[in-house]
Homo-oligomer: A and B are copies of this chain.
Amino acid sequence: MASVYFTPGPAQLYPTVAGHLQTALDKQVFSQSHRSQAFKDLYKRADAGLRALFNLPEDYAIYFTGSATEIWERSLQSLTAQKTYHLVNGSFSKKYLDHAKWLGRDAQVLQVPFGKGFSLEEVQVPGGTELLAITQNETSSGVCMPVSDIHALREKFPEPLISVDMVSGAPYAALDFSKVDMAFFSVQKGFGLPAGLGVWLVNGRCREVAAGLEGKQYTGGHHSIASLQDQYQQFQTPFTPNVLDIFLLTHVVEDMLTKGIETIRQETEAKAHQVYTFLEESSLFAPFVQEKAHRSPTVIVADVLEKPAAEVISLLKKQGMVLGSGYGASKEKQIRIANFPAIFEQEMDTLVKALRQL
């Protein structure tokens, strides 16, 4: 009997994944050369689908990397020489900052406590900042930044490139890509695919900045923006990519387009509303994030009040529902419930009923 994975990544597979995988095996897609026309056609199709799903402006390019973690590093190498500014409120936003420090950047930070979001007035990006790093959805704490706040930061700070980590927010987050410069995600969260692929959305302004830094510093080797763009122009990659994930992503994106991104967003919000409403009423649970506007619709974190969180997780597991544990130090007292598109409304309903009966 299959379980339902409410884990925040790796996560429940999108319902169509197994079928697409069988099609790819039947067609021997994974034996095809990554320099073949068949691969170029696949990349082109992935590109078209992602452009439609995210409503990308014309000047965006789409690159593939080994992981979103790698994009933290590559974006800093190709787009910055000195000054970066990071909004940090959890483990993943902090990792972007760590990468900047490892690379020797003058990395400024606005840090707020775990479980908190940012108010726009607090954010003061110094002049000369090359890149403003925003984590749209903190997978560790369940805090999101409303896309309207991200858009407002663009108005307030036109100078720095704005980089948006939307690893656990895509494709739900209705980001206006004309108001940021790059964004990225990995496929094992909201797209419900096996892990092993990072997707990097990069606008023309980034490519100009990257071109200006070429030859002046190490910009990322085979995965510099210059090298990725050079290959992208023929729908190729600088290395042998994870063709399996690119194939699955292409087809799942098309499935999502068929369903409609607006429908996916509405369903996501309805499921999230159901869970948060229950958490507020419950005596055993409470929403961890206090500020309603900062509560993530895609990764819901709850305090467990009267039992060890592990007991809750264990009880649900016996009923075929796998919850995420709290991140790091919060493991003992929190649970995380991913509300990705792969989770049916019916499944979330069953989960909430089960939590209610604990």
Q: At the interface, yes or no: A3 with Cβ under 8 Å from chain B? A: yes
How would you classify the secondary structure of chain A's contact residues: helix, strand, loop or mixed? Answer: loop
Nearest-Cβ distance from residue A92 to partner chain B, whole angstroms: 11
B242 with A34: CB separation less than 8 A: no
Q: At the interface, yes or no: A348 with Cβ under 8 Å from chain B? A: no
Residues of B within 8 A of A324 (CB): 33
Q: Which of B5, B21, B73 contacts A31 (CB 8 A)?
A: B5
Closest residue of B by beta carbon distance from A30:
B194
Complex: A66 Cα to B64 Cα, angstroms? 11
Q: At the interface, yes or no: A18 with Cβ under 8 Å from chain B? A: yes
Q: At the interface, yes or no: A312 with Cβ under 8 Å from chain B? A: no
B18 with A25: CB separation less than 8 A: yes
Residues of B within 8 A of A34 (CB): 10, 195
Q: At the interface, yes or no: A111 with Cβ under 8 Å from chain B? A: no
Complex: A12 Cα to B25 Cα, angstroms? 11
B243 with A99: CB separation less than 8 A: no
Complex: A89 Cα to B197 Cα, angstroms? 31
Complex: A102 Cα to B77 Cα, angstroms? 13
- A13-B33 in contact given A21-B25, A196-B242 (Cβ < 8 Å): no
Q: At the interface, yes or no: A67 with Cβ under 8 Å from chain B? A: yes
Complex: A7 Cα to B33 Cα, angstroms? 8
Q: Which of B18, B196, B240, B322 contacts A243 (CB 8 A)?
A: B196
Residues of B within 8 A of A30 (CB): 10, 13, 188, 193-195
B240 with A9: CB separation less than 8 A: yes
B7 with A28: CB separation less than 8 A: no
Q: At the interface, yes or no: A245 with Cβ under 8 Å from chain B? A: yes
Residues of B within 8 A of A65 (CB): 66
Complex: A222 Cα to B102 Cα, angstroms? 9
Complex: A324 Cα to B31 Cα, angstroms? 11
A194 with B243: CB separation less than 8 A: yes
* A-B contacts besides A9-B240, A10-B33, 12 pairs, CB < 8 Å: A5-B28, A7-B33, A10-B243, A13-B25, A13-B30, A30-B194, A65-B66, A66-B66, A103-B221, A194-B244, A195-B242, A195-B243
Give the top 8 A-B pairs by smallest Cβ distance, nearest first. A66-B66, A196-B242, A69-B239, A5-B31, A30-B194, A194-B244, A195-B240, A67-B239
